[in-house]
Amino acid sequence: MKTPKIKLFFLFVTFLGVQLSVAQTHNIQVDFKKNGIPVQKTMYGIFFEDINYGADGGLYAELVKNRSFEFPEHLMGWNTFGKVEVKADGPFKNNPHYIRLAYAGHDEKQTGLDNEGYFGIGVKKDAEYRFSVWAKKASSANGSIRVEIIDTESNVIANAKLDIPSTEWKLYELILKPSRTLPDAKLRIFLTSKSEVDLEHVSLFPVDTWKGRKNGLRKDLAQALYDLKPGVFRFPGGCIVEGTDLNSRYQWKNSIGQVENRTLNENRWQYTFPHRFFPDYYQSYGLGFYEFFQLSEDIGAEPLPVLSCGLACQFQNKDIHAHVPVAELNPYVQDALDLIEFANGDVTTKYGKIRAEMGHPAPFNLKLIAIGNEQWGELYPERLVPFITAIRARHPEIKIIGSAGPSPDGKDFDYGWQEMKRLKADLVDEHYYRSLEWFLSGAARYDKYDRKGPKVFAGEYACHPANRKNNYEAALCEAAFMTGFERNADVVQMCTYAPLFSHVQGWQWKPDLIWFDNLRSVRSVNYYVQQLYGHNAGTNVLTTTENKTALTGQDGIYASSVFDSGRNEIILKIANTSDSEKSVTYHLKGLKTAERKVTKTVLKSTNPDAENSLDNPETVVPKSEEINVPGNDFELKLAPKAFYLLNIKL
């Protein structure tokens, strides 16, 4: 049968179309130069805030809630039985409350108390747990207590006896070894003597903490931070720096020194979206500024403390009187100067001495300080001025970070930037929690930034898909967007995803980088994006273009590249955010032609909604393979919706 001419025409066009789409390749040129724009060591970092039970109940390995009996009503988190009395003349000035257990005149287990922990107490079979308590006998007869770890039915899974023979306050310790693994155990203490016993600062820690430290950190969570290879560590917040009101702002001086004497603080994240209220959310400050500096050192990140600028959380406080008047800012400015002394001062200085007494005579080598968290409007610059003046005069070596407010654009943002330029802040902290579309269209955001003004610190950012999930599509958008950080490393000098941690039973905010329960933790897909960047930051940017234009989302493609002088390696990053396979041909210019070994790493999923979970922690993880590329020009097929990283050994 004869084919009609019109059909032939369509067949021809279709054939051409297929040919074209098969043949079409993006030609990407990477200009090799050893001394391209330097990538700062601080480039990819982490941001810690005590939100989602990230500190108490999370990274801080203490398992007892309200160990000092200082939460409101003093017994929150505890269930008592028999004759238990709260007393207020304890040995620790800042936490004066303790409890007295008295003989109730009948059988064992007549007087005592149980601690519920944070959503229960997570314990592992045969692992060691250090119970400690400050105690004294309060009557002439010797005192003794029994300490147990119990399940929810009161079955005992570990126990030990403790004699308390002294009328002086003393620290007692013992080790408990549970016979079962439980996520929701309780700690029970009861009096076994016919006498009275006083107990204060009741504590239970796994012996196996991060680096085996007492008062230490939960090992799996600290390890997850270390594994990111972060360049900078921003702490302790976030809104908790500002406080629900000035009283509840984070005061670093309350977070140092003997742990028993650190003043408890309310957590601003007690209150969150209307239906969620966490009345038991307090900050014990057991994880305080000393521990933050120490952790920075452990994980190889520059410490970046954030201090209150005298503004209480501006979202919650619309009344000017909620904030410190500019003329009364001196104590706040002094806090900043004292913090620098605490971190860097000689051991003969007041705060340097405290650091040394806490176990770190060597300075922490602080180089960065942020004044204010998410501040906006005229209230902010006028408060920032006295800090800048004082810090510049005493510590010109310290870089000061100012805020551009909670939004990445708009009137307040523009005003904030204008003021930060006027005040010559070293870096400006931008925050963006935005949609997929915003991230995908924003990869060129920094291409036109002023190169002469302050540098950018993207201090909190995360892509928000529907329900703010930590899903694959959000992670892919972040990976694509971050090529824009890398390409603009002359202006973007630090970025920290936010927030870090979230307890599955107690979250107030998502997405978050790492989720956990009382026994397990899971690294989100977003975590792996951060890790890929953190481990492959490189040292110098390599210009990466198609037809002399940066790849910022044309045809769904985003690309950037760096050279790593230490590893003598070129690192190519490329995201295909489109729904179709793409073919790219890389052309490496400025290099001798050679066949090279390449590690190709891919992060991909066919399910945009895929998430890593505690039960399925490896749903989407990067996969690496070794390949050879024949020379300086080579083709790469990009699967739809995938992020690639190529490490090319030179």
Answer yes or no whether residue 406 interacts with ligand AHR by CB under 6 A.
yes
Binder of ligand AHR out of 344, 373, 561, 601 (CB under 6 A):
373
Asked if residues 429 and 370 have their Cβ atoms less than 8 Å apart, the reply is yes
Which range touches ligand AHR (CB under 6 A), out of 234-242, 341-349, 440-448, 571-579? 234-242
CB of 600 to ligand AHR, least distance (A): 34
If 0-12 CB within 10 Å is exposed, 13-18 middle and 19+ buried, where does residue 177 land? Answer: middle
Answer yes or no whether residue 460 interacts with ligand AHR by CB under 6 A.
yes
Chain residue at closest Cβ approach to ligand AHR: 238
CB of 242 to ligand AHR, least distance (A): 8
Is 374 marked active-site?
yes
Binder of ligand AHR out of 287, 369, 477, 498 (CB under 6 A):
498
Which range touches ligand AHR (CB under 6 A), out of 36-44, 199-207, 236-244, 601-609? 236-244
CB of 427 to ligand AHR, least distance (A): 16
Asked if residues 391 and 368 have their Cβ atoms less than 8 Å apart, the reply is no
Answer yes or no whether residue 430 interacts with ligand AHR by CB under 6 A.
no
* Distances in whole angstroms, Cα of residue 11 to Cα of each of 1, 18, 23, 24: 16, 10, 18, 19
Answer yes or no whether residue 499 interacts with ligand AHR by CB under 6 A.
yes
* DSSP code per residue over 241-291: HH-SSGGGS--GGGGSS-GGGPPPEE-GGGB-STT-B-TT-EE--SS-HHH
Per-residue exposure over 286-315, b if at least 16 CB sit within 10 Å of its own CB, e if not: bbbbbbbbbbbbbbebbbbbbbbbbbbbbe
Answer yes or no whether residue 506 interacts with ligand AHR by CB under 6 A.
no
Binder of ligand AHR out of 28, 51, 440, 443 (CB under 6 A):
51
Which range touches ligand AHR (CB under 6 A), out of 100-108, 233-241, 328-336, 521-529? 233-241
If 0-12 CB within 10 Å is exposed, 13-18 middle and 19+ buried, where does residue 22 land? Answer: exposed
Binder of ligand AHR out of 250, 332, 509, 563 (CB under 6 A):
509
Taking the C-alpha atoms of residue 622 and residue 615, their distance in angstroms, rounded to an integer, is 18
Active-site residue among 62, 70, 200, 374? 374
Residue nearer to ligand AHR on the CB measure, 498 or 642: 498
Binder of ligand AHR out of 239, 368, 425, 537 (CB under 6 A):
239
Q: φ and ψ at 467, to 5 degrees?
A: 60, 15
Which one, of 61, 65, 221, lies nearest residue 128 by Cα?
61
Which of the 8 DSSP states describes residue 231?
S
Answer yes or no whether residue 143 interacts with ligand AHR by CB under 6 A.
no
Answer yes or no whether residue 238 interacts with ligand AHR by CB under 6 A.
yes
**Total residues at the site for ligand AHR (CB under 6 A)?**
13
Which range touches ligand AHR (CB under 6 A), out of 17-25, 235-243, 342-350, 448-456? 235-243
Residue nearer to ligand AHR on the CB measure, 235 or 558: 235
Taking the C-alpha atoms of residue 306 and residue 329, their distance in angstroms, rounded to an integer, is 16
End-to-end alpha carbon distance in the chain: 60
Q: List, in sequence order, every residue forming a beta bridge with 564; answer none if it has no partner.
A: 569
Residue nearer to ligand AHR on the CB measure, 217 or 513: 513
Which of the 8 DSSP states describes residue 556?
G
- The three-state secondary structure class of 492 is strand
CB of 309 to ligand AHR, least distance (A): 13
Taking the C-alpha atoms of residue 491 and residue 489, their distance in angstroms, rounded to an integer, is 5
Residue nearer to ligand AHR on the CB measure, 429 or 473: 429
CB of 633 to ligand AHR, least distance (A): 44
If 0-12 CB within 10 Å is exposed, 13-18 middle and 19+ buried, where does residue 630 land? Answer: exposed
Answer yes or no whether residue 511 interacts with ligand AHR by CB under 6 A.
no
Residues carrying an active site annotation: 374
Contact footprint for ligand AHR (CB under 6 A): 49, 51, 237-239, 373-374, 406, 431, 460, 498-499, 509
